């Protein structure tokens, strides 16, 4: 009996062989992607279960524990930890200016991403009440961010923030619009006198929406 050794390089390449080889490669790549996706979803599931367990514990205690939290550019909480016995609570002199600046950005920025815009809107409205809620609602009826986003986006730059009294802050900002084609449009300057207070959240739902505890009760526009 004789045996013949055929080298792969000697096999004639045909459209069928080439197509079959391509399909095998694509299957291997898909299998790798599936393994990676399974790993990512497993980690996400463990994180979700951990978060759910923590929220369940808080709800059953009927208390909201103070946490330090970090948020991303859209305002979503990306990490946090409970305030330990050796930690000091963040002073209002630091917390309030930061919260006010974030509120202005959430209330008046315009994003082309509908989900991001909804998150900004929900956070902004969670921090207003009474007359301030009505004023902000009227503003958004006249300047609907979802309609504006069809033609342009708006970035906010805080230019000045002054505390005039324990309950009032004067904030000035610039609205920097840009067309969907990337062309920069004329900058709009705006400002407002805000009447504010600090409130403690009484539920997990409130804490997630308004972690800083900022509550704006009145808005007086200040023309620039």
Model pLDDT for residues 164-216, shown as the tens digit of each residue: 998 999 999 999 999 999 999 999 999 999 999 988 877 777 777 888 889 99
What is the dotted CATH code of the domain comprising 90-221? 3.10.450.230
> Which residues have C-beta within 8 Å of that of residue 220, sequence separation ≥ 6?
192, 193, 194
Selection from 10-24, 75-89, 111-125 with the highest mean pLDDT: 111-125
- Amino acid 95: pLDDT: 80
> Which residues have C-beta within 8 Å of that of residue 168, sequence separation ≥ 6?
193, 194, 195, 196
Spatial CA neighbour of 157 closest among 92, 78, 224: 224
Q: Decide: pTM greater than 0.85.
A: no
pLDDT band at 42 (very low <50, low <70, confident <90, very high): very low
Mean pLDDT of 69-87: 44
pLDDT digits (tens, 9 = 90+) for 98-113: 999 999 999 999 999 9
């Amino acid at each position: 009996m004789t045996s013949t050794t055929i080298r792969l390089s000697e096999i004639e390449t045909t459209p069928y062989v080439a197509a079959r080889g391509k399909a095998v490669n694509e299957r291997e790549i898909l299998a790798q992607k599936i393994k990676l996706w399974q790993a990512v979803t497993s980690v996400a599931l463990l994180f979700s279960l951990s978060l759910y367990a923590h929220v369940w514990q808080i709800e059953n205690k009927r208390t909201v524990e103070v946490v330090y939290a970090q948020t991303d550019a859209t305002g979503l909480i990306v990490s946090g930890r409970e305030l330990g016995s050796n930690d000091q609570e963040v002073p209002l002199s630091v917390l309030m200016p930061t919260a006010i600046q974030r509120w202005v950005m959430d209330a008046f920025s315009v994003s082309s991403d509908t989900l991001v815009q909804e998150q900004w809107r929900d956070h902004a409205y969670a921090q207003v009440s009474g007359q301030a809620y009505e004023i902000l609602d009227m503003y958004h009826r006249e300047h609907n961010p979802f309609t504006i986003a069809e033609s342009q986006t708006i970035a906010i730059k805080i230019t000045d923030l002054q505390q005039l009294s324990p309950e009032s802050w004067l904030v000035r900002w610039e609205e920097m619009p840009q067309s969907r084609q990337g062309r920069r449009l004329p900058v709009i300057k705006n400002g407002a006198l805000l009447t504010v207070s600090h409130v403690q959240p009484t539920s997990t739902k409130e804490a997630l929406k308004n972690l800083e505890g900022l509550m704006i009760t009145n808005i007086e526009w200040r023309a620039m």
